[in-house]
Structure 1
């Protein structure tokens, strides 16, 4: 267990309902009287059909799928029937929607420079046991929401990307997801600054294909385009913290083709906590990644099924977010410092005042005027507790757990003007002995954040793959995939299982296996 006092923030923006996907054109839902479909043309007629199909079908072409003979288009029911009977059409299928899928220790100076935090996942996947000096021979393509090129922990990386008319420049990130993924892969080993990634020494090459704009969703057609653009950019590995519940032939064929071309495709298993497969992770040409926590226990949100192949750290993962967009919770009482969680929806501000016991916070109490309210979790929701503190004249709120462990809270749609944080049961109990002492409670802007999700597990696996592969670049993608599964740390039921797949990805074990047995054995 990581020492709680080393945590810089406890914001865990739970991405449990998000599974991650791709968009390269303008992202808009189809009109109510039309349907958005992918139309694949037979060989030799694609160019002619692409130029005439919109008029013939009385439809609207929305996206030409890069590297294929296919387009995404909106058509009426009558026009769709006509297309189905067109002899030049290979097949028609739904253009499925895709969505984004979301604990530290201080560096001792070896192998990372002092003054940084080392997310628990870095050591858990053995990245601290292998040098990334040779990683310049590998390129990871991240398909996501972009990359904050100006981030203090990312700006010096070897990174390229693309402009898209629908989502904008690759180096902007409106919903923060892609920058968080990138930090897990390659946050820089720079003294006194932030965190470190799996490949921390600016060696691994990154290519960014931005498929999510501010609205945070896209179509499978644009994901297929994005993946083909990764290939065109020379990627060895494609990392996709994204997905959706519906499979289609276009994606399936795209990723099968990329695997045949020697590219390692890796995607998030999904965050619905059920047995349903998510796509693209569910295709046989893609490694499906599930999530575990800092204790190597299965994350309850992680989808579990026969497709899950590997597991990675995915609960409370600290990584980069666009500069100033994260939140850091702070909490001190008297001379004691605590490691709080940020209450989602709290204003970004701090308050200092005497600490007072507000019980369970289920009623207004004017004795709280000018105080910091210490509130036990339970009975009423967080918004009611914090609102009652505020309406009592309280200037800040601490909600502590009623069971062991930390937790993330949210105020939902309730707007409050006082800062609020969460705390563990142990910390809450300790603070009850400090009533009357001055407490400082607050939420500060940060360049880092804790996220949960298979989205966070996926870049751990992609980055380990690049790290190990850099030692043996003549190994094939298929051989690397085999090595990663055979060297994984078996968790849960002996052998492959639905929650962990073959187990937790291990960098040094994979590298040692190749050194001893050769590629893929």
Structure 2
């Protein structure tokens, strides 16, 4: 599965002879260059990643033979363990135990059915996106009145905008009256597009009621939850920083009237454990959610998880989850759970994205390539590349420096070595790198040590993929962008010309992944519950599946499920249910 990208490279400091002239092809680096991500201090991990402990304890799930949760918790504490969650819908607790003494003592308890490791799960974005789709979706962009190509593709506006003016019509289903729970990395709670949408929230990691994706002294997390929430619920006419790339009124969510419940379970690096997610599902149910949106996963099915999702379904909740970004024919858990609706990703041409996982449990498809949505304020960036008046479509790398740079465009091949940049100079240049030949982090370090002050990643792979990548948040980097294969072909002919990279901070960002597809379906489900508050989860699910736009082979297939979710058609099916 593709993960969050360029992580874990140690800081590399290069010291060499002072040489500010063109070096040509020499295995020599510029002096005093520091390039790469810095390893994260232990104190940062322990304080701001509650998933990691320094006392040698393991995170486990303890299942009991019957529903004696109160007694179970006291027994864990008696042996010196720490209970982190007590589940209501299954006879189990989450705990932290020493792997030898405390776990051994509890394993011998006759009331204990089994003890298993508390699985690590992760956010499911970003991912590789096909270049042709990248170009097409970007050109469509956000149209008048904030209607994105993805929103129109799933027919959301056809449910609440009958007069075609781009705004929700009075009395039409917008998600109003429906609570939808986003279980993710938390939120930029002051984002202008979302601050009026949140009605309840819980930080399961920090055990408080402020589910923010920001940590004082350590900055923003991944922004993943803010992006997901915007796809679902961005409010009309509440635009943030993004001009001229985004309309001044911003973007609009699939269900612009829905009430959001925010449950933070992902840490600053997009990681969590199964117990936090299951506890969040129970919290969502407590708060009256009708839909739960999960853009995370990575574990294996367990009886504990099965029973928690089964209970949520019994309480009238539809749980929607991302199918996974491995590109395999196996849907990730928990999307593969029988009580969860799995969602894969399509591009702007309704083709299955190359990264999107499939399989027999796949339910629906939704837009998941180059999706524009909300992002923590000022942490997103829009980029422009200009070489001799040519401006190929570009995307800035997430979390990279937001700076303007210029210099001679130098061919650095794949950035595979310290002599890959032909005609480089320590006085600075813009590196053109064919992305994908070596890991992107290594390529970045290699060209930076040769004097690059900015990097343009072009794509040379036959299938034309382009990565919307993420930079490590700690370390020394230069601004970097990715461009399409077509743009790379043009720039490759302009080596030696003056290249300019311009970046502007934004409250929005582009991402790709099934993480982006799942919230489209979650939002459509909220529209259906808004139109039919008495509907059962199975009725809404049936309406979604039976009305989907067929893709690929006729009927259900493991690559596309039942097809592309269609909000208006699904509502028509639901209204016919007795």
Q: Distance in 1 between matches of 2:298 and 2:443?
A: 36
CA 1:320 to 1:370, structure 2 compared with 1: closer, same or farther past 3 Å? same
| CA displacement at 1:228 relative to structure 2 | 1.0
1:151 aligns with 2:229: no
Write the mapping of 1:372-451 to structure 2, written as runs, cut at 5 A. Answer: 372=430, 395-402=453-460, 405=464, 407-408=466-467, 418-431=478-491, 439-451=499-511
CA RMSD of aligned residues (A): 3.5
Q: Distance in 1 between matches of 2:438 and 2:123?
A: 31
The one-character-per-residue Cα deviations of 1:204-233 (angstroms, maximum 9, x if unpaired) are 111111112224322222222111111110
CA 1:350 to 1:70, structure 2 compared with 1: closer, same or farther past 3 Å? same
| CA displacement at 1:338 relative to structure 2 | 3.2
From 229, 233, 243, the counterpart of 1:182: 229
Query: 2:344 is paired with a residue of what secondary structure?
Result: strand
From 337, 347, 353, the counterpart of 1:293: 347
From 332, 336, 340, the counterpart of 1:278: 332
Moved more, 252-261 or 465-474: 465-474
1:254 aligns with 2:278: no
2:123–2:296: 8 Å Cα contact kept in structure 1? yes
Q: Could you tell me the TM-score, scaled by structure 2's length?
A: 0.75
From 117, 121, 127, the counterpart of 1:98: 121
Q: Could you tell me the TM-score, scaled by structure 1's length?
A: 0.82
Q: Distance in 2 between matches of 1:171 and 1:380?
A: 37
CA 1:226 to 1:384, structure 2 compared with 1: closer, same or farther past 3 Å? closer
Q: Distance in 2 between matches of 1:377 and 1:84?
A: 50
The one-character-per-residue Cα deviations of 1:173-213 (angstroms, maximum 9, x if unpaired) are 1221111110110122216143222123xx11111111122
1:293–1:313: 8 Å Cα contact kept in structure 2? yes
1:293–1:299: 8 Å Cα contact kept in structure 2? yes
Provide the residue aligned with 2:296 in structure 1: 242
| CA displacement at 1:308 relative to structure 2 | 1.1
| CA displacement at 1:291 relative to structure 2 | 1.7
Moved more, 412-421 or 134-143: 412-421
1:70 aligns with 2:92: yes
Write the mapping of 1:75-224 to structure 2, written as runs, cut at 5 A. Answer: 75=97, 76-77=99-100, 79-80=102-103, 82-89=105-112, 91-102=114-125, 103-104=137-138, 105-109=140-144, 113=145, 116=146, 118-131=147-160, 133-134=172-173, 135-164=175-204, 166=206, 168-173=208-213, 174-190=221-237, 192-200=248-256, 203-224=257-278
Moved more, 143-152 or 277-286: 277-286
The one-character-per-residue Cα deviations of 1:292-330 (angstroms, maximum 9, x if unpaired) are 222222222222221111112122211111112223222
From 73, 77, 80, the counterpart of 1:54: 77
| CA displacement at 1:77 relative to structure 2 | 4.5
Q: Distance in 1 between matches of 2:577 and 2:275?
A: 38
1:312–1:460: 8 Å Cα contact kept in structure 2? yes
Q: Distance in 1 between matches of 2:267 and 2:391?
A: 39
Q: Distance in 2 between matches of 1:33 and 1:157?
A: 39
CA 1:422 to 1:92, structure 2 compared with 1: closer, same or farther past 3 Å? closer
| CA displacement at 1:373 relative to structure 2 | 5.0
| CA displacement at 1:137 relative to structure 2 | 2.2
1:364–1:389: 8 Å Cα contact kept in structure 2? no
Q: Distance in 2 between matches of 1:17 and 1:434?
A: 28
Provide the residue aligned with 2:15 in structure 1: none
1:346–1:443: 8 Å Cα contact kept in structure 2? no
CA 1:501 to 1:30, structure 2 compared with 1: closer, same or farther past 3 Å? farther
The one-character-per-residue Cα deviations of 1:350-407 (angstroms, maximum 9, x if unpaired) are 1245x54637472341579665455666867766776676666665443433357562
1:152–1:193: 8 Å Cα contact kept in structure 2? no
Q: Distance in 2 between matches of 1:432 and 1:175?
A: 33
Q: Distance in 2 between matches of 1:403 and 1:369?
A: 31
Q: Distance in 2 between matches of 1:474 and 1:494?
A: 32
Q: Distance in 2 between matches of 1:386 and 1:29?
A: 32
1:364–1:388: 8 Å Cα contact kept in structure 2? no
CA 1:357 to 1:368, structure 2 compared with 1: closer, same or farther past 3 Å? farther
Any unmatched runs of 5+ in structure 1?
Answer: 1-12, 19-24
Query: 2:505 is paired with a residue of what secondary structure?
Result: strand
CA 1:343 to 1:83, structure 2 compared with 1: closer, same or farther past 3 Å? closer
How many residue pairs end up in the alignment?
Answer: 490
| CA displacement at 1:69 relative to structure 2 | 4.3
Q: Distance in 2 between matches of 1:28 and 1:378?
A: 32
Q: Distance in 1 between matches of 2:404 and 2:232?
A: 33
| CA displacement at 1:430 relative to structure 2 | 4.1
Moved more, 69-78 or 143-152: 69-78
